[in-house]
Amino acid sequence: MYRKEDTSEEIDLGQLFKLIGNAINTFCNWVYDSLKAIYHLFILCILFLRAHFFKFCLAVILGIGLGGYMDYGRSRIYRSSMIVQPNFNSARQLYSDIEFYSELVKQGENEKLAGVLHIPQSVAKSITDIKIMALINEERKIIKFDEFIKDRDSVTRKSINYEDYLKNFNEIDAEFYEIQIEATASEIAKQCQKVIVASVETNEYFKLQKKVNNDNLAVRDTMTSEQLKEINKLQSFYKEIRVLEAQQSVGATNINLTDNKIEQILEFELFKQIEKLKEEKIEVNIEKANTKNIINIVSGFPDRGKLINDLRFKKIVQMPTLFVVILFLILILPTFNKYLTKYSKSISY
Q: What share of the chain is helix, strand, coil (3-state, %, to 5)?
A: 75, 10, 15
Q: What angle do the packed helices 110-117 and 91-107 form, to 10 degrees?
A: 150
Burial class (CB in 10 A: 0-12, 13-18, 19+), 291: middle
The DSSP 8-state label assigned to residue 303 in this structure reads S
User: Rounded to an integer, what distance in angstroms lies between the CA atom of residue 69 and that of residue 61?
Assistant: 12
**pTM of the predicted model as reported, rounded to 2 decimal places:** 0.63
Taking only the tens place, the pLDDT of each residue in 232-241 is: 777 777 777 7
Where is average pLDDT lowest: 3-12, 42-51, 64-73, 218-227?
3-12
User: Rounded to an integer, what distance in angstroms lies between the CA atom of residue 48 and that of residue 56?
Assistant: 11
- For residue 6, what pLDDT band results from cuts at 50, 70 and 90? low
User: Rounded to an integer, what distance in angstroms lies between the CA atom of residue 284 and that of residue 217?
Assistant: 6
User: Rounded to an integer, what distance in angstroms lies between the CA atom of residue 27 and that of residue 39?
Assistant: 18
The residue extents of the domains of the chain are 2-72+314-343, 76-203+298-312, 208-292
Cβ–Cβ < 8 Å for 59, 319: no
Residue 253 in 3-state DSSP? Answer: coil
Mean pLDDT of 208-221: 89
| pLDDT above 90 for 170 | no
> How confident is the model at residue 130, as a pLDDT?
92
User: Rounded to an integer, what distance in angstroms lies between the CA atom of residue 195 and that of residue 181?
Assistant: 13
- Phi-psi map region of 254: left, alpha, beta (phi>0 left; psi -120 to 50 alpha): beta
Return the higher-pLDDT residue of 288 and 270: 288
Mean pLDDT of 184-194: 86
Cβ–Cβ < 8 Å for 105, 77: no
> How confident is the model at residue 101, as a pLDDT?
92
Taking CA atoms, 289 is separated from 202, 212, 283, 295, in Å, by 19, 15, 10, 12
| pLDDT above 60 for 280 | yes
Cβ–Cβ < 8 Å for 75, 183: no
- For residue 267, what pLDDT band results from cuts at 50, 70 and 90? low
Taking only the tens place, the pLDDT of each residue in 86-117 is: 998 888 899 999 999 999 999 988 889 889 88
User: Rounded to an integer, what distance in angstroms lies between the CA atom of residue 262 and that of residue 273?
Assistant: 17
